[in-house]
Amino acid sequence: MSKGRILVTGGLGYIGAHTAVELLAKGYDVVLADNLSNTRKEVLEGIEAVSGQRPTWWNVDIADPSATRAALSEQHFDGIIHFAAYKAVGESVAEPLKYYQNNLTSLVNLLAYVQSHPSCGFIFSSSCTVYGQADDLPITEAAPIKPAESPYGNTKQIGEEVIKETAQAKGLKTIALRYFNPIGAHHSASIGELPLGVPQNLVPFITQSAAGLRGPLQIFGQDYPTADGTAVRDYIHVVDLALAHIVALERLMDNAQEAPMEVFNLGTGKGSTVLEVIQAFERATGQKLAWSYAPRRAGDVVAAYADTTRATQVLGWTAQKSLDEAMRDAWAWQLAIGAPEKEA
């Protein structure tokens, strides 16, 4: 007997696939909506390899209002976990309209369904990006939302506002999860991160460089006011992140939420510098990494790491996996997939 029917948008993506695996393991009936705009169909095989089940996959563009209405008509879902969005900060600066059109229209299309099915819980993939450079560390959910540094970050801020106002007006059950830095892969090395083109994020660049697929890592900035001069982030294992989504979903399915929209930071509560991440990678894998210092990257904040009090005390969730474990899993995944996707 299924525990419930869940729609996972962006379900063939990095965090989506890891969440799908955990939903299947817990006995949920899972439908993945993904138009393959930033992933590969083979991820479905990976999910099946891990979970022994093949979830239903809808090849639908949820930014298309009529396609989304058609896909969702006559459908019952107990929950929707909405990952599908463009997420490359740099690209969003170059192509703002692409980001606003895709990220906001898909959200509005989904909320139209939830509005007419208010018992359906809605989980939104948000980001610590909404805080910009927070004044106080660690960062709590009460930290002020700073003007977005990129159209990508702005779509997350606007998205939260759209959800909050709609949930309040229509009595919906919604949660926004603000991720810090997701890294690593499922220990089976059957699913993981698939950066298409040159990785913009630190850990996939590290693994591709160590695998000889890229040149030396460039560390963006060595003069930050931190322990070793390199910037600080809160790196959370993607499986810990996936499990947090299940906890949040079940909170809504149990009608335990205390507001129409609740917000939770999802991190480890620990900050690591770029040099510390490199040291963890070398320690965990035995691989030596070539790197050199480079100028700071525009838009980067000095430090960001989560205050995890609310997630622990209200959600009852705490990240379990270490940075070393995430490095081991990321490296095993890199060895499993070999060379990166050719740039589209």
Residues that bind ligand WQD (CB under 6 A): 87, 89, 127, 129, 181, 200-202, 205, 217-220, 231, 233, 274, 297, 300
Q: Which two tokens stand for residue 203?
A: 């850990």
Going by their DSSP bridges, the two strands 79-82 and 121-127 should be labelled as parallel
Least distance to ligand WQD from the beta carbon of 127, Å? 4
152 noted as active-site residue = yes
Q: What is the DSSP letter of 303?
A: B
Least distance to ligand WQD from the beta carbon of 294, Å? 7
Q: Are 248 and 195 in contact (CB under 8 A)?
A: no
Spatial distance between the Cα atoms of 272 and 286, rounded to a whole number of angstroms: 19
Q: For residue 118, say if its preceding peptide bond is cis, omega within 30 degrees of 0.
A: no
Between residues 233 and 245, which has the closer beta carbon with respect to ligand WQD?
233
Least distance to ligand WQD from the beta carbon of 172, Å? 24
Least distance to ligand WQD from the beta carbon of 221, Å? 6
Distances (CA, A) of 253 to 29, 79, 119, 134, 248: 14, 8, 8, 32, 9
Spatial distance between the Cα atoms of 266 and 220, rounded to a whole number of angstroms: 25
Between residues 99 and 113, which has the closer beta carbon with respect to ligand WQD?
99
Which of 152, 179, 235, 305 is an active site residue? 152
Positions annotated as catalytic residues are 152
